[in-house]
Amino acid sequence: MVTGKKMRLWSNIILIILSVFAILPIILLIIGSFTDNATALSEGFSYFPSKWSTEAYKYIIDAWAMIGKGYLNTILVTAIGTGVSLIVTAMFGYGLTVKGLPGGKVITAMLIISMLFNGGIVAQYFVYTNFVRIKDSYLALILPNYVMNAFNVILVSNYFRNNVSAEILEASRIDGASEFSVFWKILLPLSVPILATIGIMTAIGYWNDWMNGLYYLSPRNGGPYRTIQLILNEINSQVNFLASQASQLGLTVDTSKIPSTTVRMAIAFVGILPILIAFPFFQKYFVKGISVGGVKG
């Protein structure tokens, strides 16, 4: 018979082992980025390389004028996109909790159907470029795919129903509060865990996204709007990409000295670093929001 203490002990051991397996690749990524390029080519990546080097990061710093612009674009897109997404998702989720909402069942059915079927990337691209006309703009990086997510709406709606007292909302209405005041001043402050959960998932989606840039930014006019992930993807696809931009940056780049292998590790680490720093601060909200918003309903 397995006791509760033994069960917790084995659960902790298993979780520790899984955590180690999850952390080891990140450690190898960091060590690989500081490995000498010739050593990495001859010996492969190792946790204990025979020769260290910072050439990969020097290479990135030399091209920081372009990479830094990509970072600024990514921060701007992530901040605005996440904020808009939270507002849209919270308002949609709140609307679904209103009793007697005209057409509420139809709206809910359409929301669920959108999780199962979609028009495909061709139809989406046609609508956004020909009717919404967002090509080669910041809107091209914000509107498609992330502003409204049906799964997030359901999480928020479940949280509102099961964790915010209906009596408090009704008492506010009786006291003369408008529907907007009830939503903005009462409901949202009581919903920090689920909003933080949705926010971090959305922010990660925006930060890691490069598909929108690939589809909606043209090589000729989309350059000023490129995000860090799009730039890093281009560098990964073609190591000589930064060298081809040397004349625009006012640099002299010797392509024969580019650390082609280790620079890929370095730029991957540069890309995920902000997420690694930010996630621990939101983890408690993330766990609570998922468990409460997803289990009940």
Q: What are phi and psi of 103, to 5 degrees?
A: 75, 15
pLDDT by residue (tens digit) across 247-283?
Answer: 555 555 554 455 667 887 887 888 788 888 877 777 6
The number of residues making up the chain comes to: 297
CA distances from 126 to 78, 120, 132, 230 (A): 24, 10, 9, 22
Angle at which helices 64-97 and 55-62 pack, to 10 degrees?
80
pLDDT at 292: 53
Cite the DSSP H helix spans in 36-138. Answer: 37-43, 55-62, 64-97, 104-116, 120-127
Mean pLDDT confidence for 195-222:
87
pLDDT at 84 over 80: yes
CA 174 distance to own-chain centroid: 40
Largest CA distance in the chain: 75
- pLDDT reading at 112 higher than 90: no
Compute CA 116 distance to the chain's CA centroid, rounded to the nearest angstrom.
22
What is the pTM assigned to this prediction?
Answer: 0.77
pLDDT band, residue 295 (cuts 50/70/90): very low
The span from the CA of 3 to the CA of 40, in Å, is 49
Predicted pLDDT at 296: 45
| Confidence check: pLDDT of 42 > 80 | yes
Each residue's pLDDT tens digit, 154-191: 888 888 888 887 788 888 888 888 888 888 888 888 88
What crossing angle do the helices spanning 64-97 and 150-163 adopt, rounded to 10°?
50
Average pLDDT, rounded, for the chain? 81
Q: In the predicted model, is pLDDT for residue 293 greater than 70? A: no
Domain 34-295 has CATH 3.50.50.60: no
pLDDT digits (tens, 9 = 90+) for 2-35: 567 888 888 889 999 999 998 999 999 999 889 9
Q: Where are the domains of the chain?
A: 34-295
Report the share of the chain in percent with pLDDT over 70.
85
